Amino acid sequence: MIGKKRLLVSSLPLMAAGCIFLFWPTAYERAFDENIAHYPLAASIAGRDPHLRDIFLRQTEEAFNNGGWRAANGALRISLASEVAIYADDEHIKAISAAELGVLLKLESNPAACKAYLLAGAEPNEFPQAVSELAMLAEAHRAAIENGFDRRSSGVKWTRPSDGEISDIEERLGRGPVAELTKTELDADAKYLDGEAEPVCAASIKKMKNLLAMDGPDAADAERIRMTNTGRIDIAHVLKTCREQKAGACS
C-alpha cells in the first residue's frame, strides 16, 4: 500500500503539468489581440464582451488553421454579422440589404466576380469596379454592428431561426413579389458552390430585390434570418472551392 501511495503522489505533478499543457494558449490565441487590433470595432467589442471575444477567437482560429488569413478575416466578418449585427434595429438592417443590392448590381456585368463576392466577400481593392458600393456596404455594416452591440448589451433578444424557417424565407424570396426566379436560377442557387456564375448572380439580385420590396419589419427579419445562416458557412472550404473554380478569385 505504501508503494501504491508513493506512486499516486508521484504522479500528481505529472497530471498537473498535463493540465497546464492542455490549457496553454495556442500561438494563434497569443497573437489574437494584436491581430484583431487591426479591426478597431471588432477589437472594441471583444474587449467589452468576453463571451463574444471567445466566439471571435474560436471561429477565426478554426478558419485560419484551415484556410489562412483570408479565411480568418472572412470568419471575423461572419461572426460580427451573425453574432452582433443581427441585433440591430430594422432601419440598420434594411440599410445593409440596400447596400448589398448596390454591390451586386455593380458586379452583375461580371458574373465570375459577382459569384466570387457572394461566396467569399471582398478584401480591400479586390473589386475595383465596386469600390464606392463596397464602401457604402462597409459603413452600413459598421453602423449595424455598433447599434446591434448596444442593443444586445441592453438585453434585446434574437431567437435564432430553425432550418425550416431558413428554407421558408429562401423559397419565399425566390417567388417574388418583384421577380420570380427561373428554373435555371433556382437550380444554380440550390447548387451553391457548384452553380453557374451568371444564374447564381441573377438569383441573388432577384432575391434581394424581393426582400427589399417586403414590408419594413418583414424585410428586416428576412435579412436577419439570412445573416444568421451565414454563421454556418465554412469559409475556408468556400475559399478553396472558389479558387479551384476561378484562378485568382478568392485568393
- In 3D space, the residue among 228, 94, 212, 208 whose CA is nearest the CA of residue 161 turns out to be 228
Residues of the chain where predicted confidence (pLDDT) is lower than 50: 1-23, 247-248
Output the nine-digit C-alpha cell for 13.
Answer: 505533478
Q: What number of other Cβ atoms are within 10 A of residue 214's Cβ? A: 19
pLDDT at 233: 85
Q: Longest Cα pair distance anywhere in the chain, in angstroms?
A: 83
pLDDT at 246: 61
pLDDT tens digits for range 21-54:
444 678 898 889 888 998 999 999 999 999 999 9
pLDDT tens digits for range 194-223:
899 999 999 999 999 999 999 889 999 999
For the entire predicted model, the pTM comes to 0.86
pLDDT at 173: 97
Q: Which residue has the cell 432575391?
A: 207
pLDDT at 187: 96
